[in-house]
Amino acid sequence: MTKDGQTTPTANITLGGYKITNLAAATAAADAVRFSQLQNFSTNTLITVAGTDTITGTVTPTLTAYTTGQIFSFVAAATNTTSVTLNIDGVGAKAVTRAGTTALAAGDILTGQVAIVEYDGTRFQLLDPSAFANLRVSGTSGVALTLPTNTGTLISDYITPAFRNRVINGDQRIDQVNSGAAQTYTAAAPVAYNVDMFYGLCTGANVTGQRVAGTSPNKYAYKYTGAASVTQILHGTRIESLNVADFVSQTATLSVQLSNSLLTSVTWTAYYANVADTFSAKTQIATGTFTITSTPTVYSAQISMGANAGNGVSIEFTVGAQTSGTWLIENVQLEKGSSATLFDYRDYGTELLRCQRYLPAFISGGSFEVLGYGPASSSANVQAGVPFKVPTRVTVTGITVSAAADFLVNDGGGSTTCNGVTFAFAGINSCAVNFTVAGTPLTALRGYNCAMNAVGKYILFTGARL
């Protein structure tokens, strides 16, 4: 062999275990490659990258053809806005996809991001998981994943930050007062509470309302049944100031599932309380209309909450002349941000405790459900302290009971049925209740258990609702 390359080898050359040193960097496809080029991945790193959705780049040595299995990396010059193609050294523009043949969505490649692609023989597939700004659940291989059918596929839809939905009992499953029984709304009367945290009213004629079975997969819905001469029905909820303090001057999204067998329009209105948590005077934040059908469908609207949302927010839905037929409301949600996400289902126990901040309720599940213990203040009265499960929003001011005869006092030796159950005094953690019996069967200062005597009997502590 000559040092100036005049002699061309005619067979393989062995170097006896020695190295070729001081080798120049390869610049053509047929050149020997320096180890540093392999180590630095420079032969597969695109330079002079340009373009947003139509990306071009070059490599050294110059690429002459795409081959299945080739891997390239590049630093993105811009964030993509739609589907993307990549053209290296003018070989030809090929689609850039993810998860096989799925086209990229806006934001899948970000400015300054290192993106890695592999050529599969037809297209470049994006390999770097960190590139998936809009990571989605898709595909059928591996473990099957069943998702709700009425939602998108964004991963963010399936991540539930704590208390994302600021509407307590938005799915209306907790009904401490009626336990699913129907109630009548009197025309032109003040609002009447129905399921926990919600209220209703009507004008023109009386209507009935009731928690009923929801549209699958929803467990419950609230249903109003129309009547002749009805001119309006309203269904609303109020949110305490402490739970929307961070909504001030923010965008929020209201979503709800609605259907109506007669009417095709529902008006929604958002208000703020003029004085914190006092909704007797309120000011409109925004209003709008949903055009609905008899098929339960999720509707949403974005709301600029304004500077006074921190006083507390109410959301009201109204329909006009519901002179017949039914109106169903399901899954009411108010969340921060400009997109409606999946309904924020919360466990029953947690949601029940949230409701009891506003309405402490004790509903008997047995034939001797103890409420509290206290001394007999006379031969006919026991004053017992009833502890609440959670502190109330404000001090309760009264009680409602199923019937006085549903309660008894017991000293361990025998029970006496009550003929009176009355409010004494309260704080936010407990309430003193007077349990009165006929005659004089009690021993003054002796301790007595005070209990409900049958399943389904109740005592409600009122005055803390919004």
Residues 6+ positions from 138 with CB-CB distance below 8 Å: 99, 102, 153
CB burial string 17-56: b at 16+ within 10 A, e below: eeeeeeeeebeeeeeeebeebeeeebbbbbeebebebebb
CA distance 3 to 76: 44
Cis peptide before 387 (omega within 30 of 0): no
Strand ranges, E, within 22-113: 47-50, 54-58, 71-75, 84-88, 93-98, 102-103
Q: Given this model, what pLDDT does residue 10 score?
A: 78
Residues 185 and 209 sit within 8 Å (Cβ to Cβ): yes
| Residuewise pLDDT in 10s, the chain (466 residues) | 666 767 777 778 777 777 777 777 766 666 776 655 555 555 678 888 999 999 999 988 888 999 999 999 999 999 999 999 999 999 999 999 988 898 998 888 889 889 999 999 999 999 875 444 555 544 444 444 444 444 444 545 545 567 899 999 999 999 999 999 999 999 999 999 999 999 999 999 999 999 999 999 999 999 999 999 999 999 999 999 999 999 999 999 999 999 999 999 999 999 999 999 999 999 999 999 999 999 999 999 999 999 999 999 999 999 999 999 999 999 999 999 998 999 999 999 999 999 999 999 999 999 999 999 999 999 999 999 999 999 999 999 999 999 999 999 999 889 999 999 999 999 999 999 999 999 999 999 999 999 999 999 999 999 999 9
Q: Which amino acid is located at 330 in the chain?
A: E
Give the residue ranges of DSSP H helices in 134-273.
Answer: none
Residues 327 and 222 sit within 8 Å (Cβ to Cβ): no
Strand ranges, E, within 180-277: 183-185, 192-193, 198-203, 207-213, 220-225, 232-239, 251-260, 265-275
Query: H-helix or E-strand containing 39?
Result: helix 35-39
Residues 401 and 466 sit within 8 Å (Cβ to Cβ): no
Q: What DSSP string describes 367-391?
A: SSEEEEEEEEEETTEEEEEEE-SS-
Strand order in the sheet with 398-401: 361-363, 458-462, 398-401
- Give whole-number Cα distances, 120 to 65, 100, 385, in Å: 13, 9, 74
> Which listed CATH number (3.40.50, 1.10.3470, 2.60.40, 1.10.10) goes with 357-462?
2.60.40
What is the CATH code for 183-350?
2.60.120.260
Three-state DSSP class for residue 243: helix
Q: Which amino acid is located at 295 in the chain?
A: T
**Across the strands, what pairs with 193?**
199
* Other beta carbons less than 10 A from residue 290's beta carbon: 18
Q: Given this model, what pLDDT does residue 193 score?
A: 97
Residue reference for tokens 């890695």: 116
Structure tokens at 118: 């592999």
Query: H-helix or E-strand containing 118?
Result: strand 114-119
Q: Which amino acid is located at 364 in the chain?
A: S
pTM attached to this predicted model: 0.69
Q: Given this model, what pLDDT does residue 464 score?
A: 97
Q: Given this model, what pLDDT does residue 230 score?
A: 98
Domain ranges of the chain: 42-131, 183-350, 357-462
- Give whole-number Cα distances, 378 to 115, 137, 139, 416, 452, in Å: 82, 68, 74, 14, 21
Q: Given this model, what pLDDT does residue 139 score?
A: 47
CA distance 296 to 94: 43
Structure tokens at 133: 């700004």
